[in-house]
Amino acid sequence: MPTSPQRGRFITLEGGEGAGKSTQLRRLADTLRETLRARGAELVTTREPGGSPGAEEIRALLVTGETGRWSPVTEALLHTAARRDHLERTVWPALEAGNWVLCDRFFDSTMAYQGYGLGLGRGSVETLQTAALGGFRPDLTLILDIDVETGLRRAVARHGGEDRYERMDIGFHQRLRDGFLDIARREPERCAVVDADADPDTVQARIWSAVSSRLGLPS
């Protein structure tokens, strides 16, 4: 876990299927790179599950195949193993070097997907998170919130191959959304909920407003 006083900042984007995270991450990355360049820092973009060679191999096991191929406990263990490798090989070295890291999903997704969506519960997921992360937390988590049915329509329109979670039932997706909103209510200092049911430019402006105000960047 990074301890340098010059440590960079760690920002995560979260949300259910079809919330627009990938699009908004690219847009936020472009803006952040310009802002950080003046400070002599760089931006690293990454994702979970994945973000390191070993974690990408685990990703393939999680996002493809039959919806019931893993039990909730097994899924959470796989995500946590991938996360630890990602932190050790990608995130922590970048932060120690004074760079900022922008990540598409992090530990809140495990809590929301496996803890709430699949019913594993907060306690079991928190135990795994503590073992893998200790006290490490993002500096800011942006939770893109959207109506479940709207998000699923968007997700289906992408026609991507990594659709295992998208194919889960509507009840799972509603629990998932409720889980993310509950996480935000529990940790308002870290989390900012962004209404993602708008055009990409509007959502981008909402995100930058949250980032600039929370992290002291020019608006």
Write out the binding residues.
Answer: 15-22
Angle in degrees, 0-180, between the axes of helices 200-215 and 21-37, rounded to the nearest 10:
50
Is 28 in contact with 208 (CB distance < 8 Å)? yes
Nearest to 211 by CA among 5, 3, 4, 9: 9
Annotated binding site for ATP: 15-22
The closest of 114, 126, 115, 56 to 85, measured between CA atoms, is 56
If DSSP codes are grouped into helix, strand and coil, which group holds residue 70?
coil
Residue pair 1/136 in contact (Cβ under 8 Å)? The answer is yes
Q: What is the CA radius of gyration of the chain?
A: 16
Q: What whole-number distance in Å separates Cα of residue 90 and Cα of residue 71?
A: 28
